[in-house]
Amino acid sequence: MQARTAISEYKEGRKLVTSKGALSGIKILSFAQLAQGNAGVEYLADLGADVIKIERPGKGAWERSWSGLDTYINGESVFFLSLNRNQRSMTINLKEEKGREIIYRLVKESDVIVENYRPRVMERLGLGYDDLSKINPGIIYASASGYGPDGPYRDKPGQDLLVQSLSGMASVTGKADDLPTPAGAAIIDIHSGALIAMGILAAICYRAQTGKGQRVEVNLLQSAIDLQKEAITYYMNGGGERSLTRSKSGIGAPFYEAPHGTYATKNGHIAISLTPLKKLGEVIGLTELIEKYEQPDALTKRDEIKELIQKEIKEKTTEEWLRLMEAHDVWCARVNNYADLVKDPQVEYNQVIKEIEREDIGSFKVIGFPINLSESKAEIRKAPPRLGEHTEEILRELGYDDEIEEMKKNGIV
């Protein structure tokens, strides 16, 4: 049976929205917040899902009130703008019985719930999986957390830096004499968001075959460990202490050998990946590298070798080295900063950066959907919503009409 047909049958004939989006006709209720939950939801929204973002009346989601580098556009958080496109915003007071009644009505015609509150918060509100699956047995309920729904760390704050530290990632990044070094971006949050989306897509396929919903759980700690699956597997299978020891000269990771790493050139920096020492020595004209070192030394004497290479690399510009190394098939790349990146010819060719227009704040740039689909392309259909922008629209879709003004007055929505 085709998945599309099965989804239609599961929906008992409810009309699907006609669109090129792969997830057209899928309705998602998002209680997501911060980067982890919102990254996952935005991927699904880009793929065509109808996402209703549930927010607090008056205040909205937490990410509306904070932004990295204190960056705002006409008072709108750039953090919020970076993770909430293609969604509709509805404000509901979840502590009010009437507010939960609206959620229950939404759940009846929804396909997916996404939440990343601290464990047990949704249950206390009467919005846990057990509660909502009684209303809609086919509901897919995705929960994202810092460490999982139970266990000794259940109530600890889950945040990218803290999890990079707990997971061992910071301990293997940087030079031997550096403090443990976190990555320069919230990589675990975003990877965890991608895993949320993957889990939901798997559950949608399963439901298309069986008609059954299920719970999907993702956590930051396991996401961080997943990113290190190669390195940790080395440690557990013979790598031992060598897997924990960073190089003094900044080799890319404990399990890599020279020349792997970054080097200062005459006018910038270049990265050189794994390359046979003899070949590299011939290309850069370093006789000592050719005559003195054998390939096994690339690991055991990696700091000594890297320092030797660095002295030579400093003598030419990045552009000169790139021309020379690329001509001899040495794996290398310019070290870009963000100013370089946004002008990079491949980034421009791939159309990675998109522009969104919203009437009240004008034009702003975002990162587009990272996957190309030949038949069901992801697209930006809606700008990130103003707080509660679609509340009345969604209530009318649910059949509310005369009650709307009263609910506004009573702080329900």
CA gyration radius for the chain?
Answer: 25
The pLDDT of residue 225 is 97
Q: How far apart are CA 313 and CA 308, in angstroms?
A: 9
In this structure, are residues 325 and 332 in contact, taking their beta carbons and an 8 Å threshold?
Answer: yes
Give the mean model confidence (pLDDT) for residues 236-248: 93
Q: What pLDDT is stored for residue 184 in this prediction?
A: 95
Residue 170 corresponds to which tokens in the numbers above? 């910071």
Looking at residue 20, what is its pLDDT? 67
Amino acid at 277: L
Residue 324 has pLDDT above 80, yes or no: yes
Model pLDDT, residue 4: 38
AA identity, residue 273: S
What percent of the chain is modeled with pLDDT above 90? Answer: 93
Tokens of 214: 């299920």
What tens digit of pLDDT does each residue of 252-270 get?
A: 899 999 999 999 999 999 9
C-alpha span between 14 and 188 (Å, rounded): 37
Q: How far apart are CA 318 and CA 307, in angstroms?
A: 17
Judging by DSSP bridges, how do beta strands 72-73 and 50-55 pair with one another? unpaired
Checking 376-381 for CB contacts under 8 A at 24+ apart, the result is 376/20, 376/21, 376/22, 376/47, 376/48, 377/20, 378/21, 378/22, 378/46, 378/47, 378/48, 379/20, 379/21, 379/46, 379/48, 380/46, 380/85, 380/86, 380/354, 380/356, 381/86
d(CA 189, CA 227): 11
Mean pLDDT of 33-51: 97
pLDDT tens digits for range 182-193: 999 999 999 999
pLDDT at 374: 87
From 261, 245, 269, 239, select the one nearest 177 (Cα to Cα): 245
Sketch out the chain's domains with CATH numbers.
3-227+351-409 (3.40.50.10540), 249-264+269-334 (3.30.1540)
Within 10 A of 365 (CB to CB), how many other CB atoms are there? 13
227's CB contacts (< 8 A; 6+ apart) are: 169, 187, 188, 191
Question: How far is 409 from 396, CA to CA, in rounded Å?
Answer: 17
Confidence at residue 66, expressed as pLDDT on a 0 to 100 scale: 96
pLDDT in the model for residue 13 = 41
Span 182-224, pLDDT tens digits = 999 999 999 999 999 999 999 999 999 999 999 999 999 999 9
Task: Note whether 292 and 278 are within 8 A (CB).
Answer: no
Name the phi and psi angles at 80, rounded to 5: -65, -45
Residues with Cβ within 8 Å of 328's Cβ and at least 6 positions away in sequence, in order, are 279, 282, 283
Strands laid side by side in the 261-264 sheet: 261-264, 269-272, 332-334
How far apart CA 282 and CA 293 sit, in angstroms, is 13
Mean pLDDT on 149-169: 95
Q: How confident is the model at residue 14 (pLDDT cuts 50, 70, 90)?
A: very low
The answer, yes or no, to whether residue 402 has pLDDT greater than 70, is yes
Contacts within 8 Å (CB) and 24+ apart, 72-75: 73/361, 73/362, 73/364, 74/360, 74/361, 74/362
Give Cβ neighbours of residue 282 (< 8 Å, ≥ 6 apart). Answer: 290, 328
Asked if the peptide bond before residue 259 counts as cis, ω within 30 degrees of 0, the response is yes
Q: Once rounded to an integer, what is the mean pLDDT over residues 350-355?
A: 95
Side-chain-side CA neighbours of residue 140 (13 Å):
24
Torsion angle of alpha carbons 395, 401, 405, 408, nearest 10°? Answer: -20
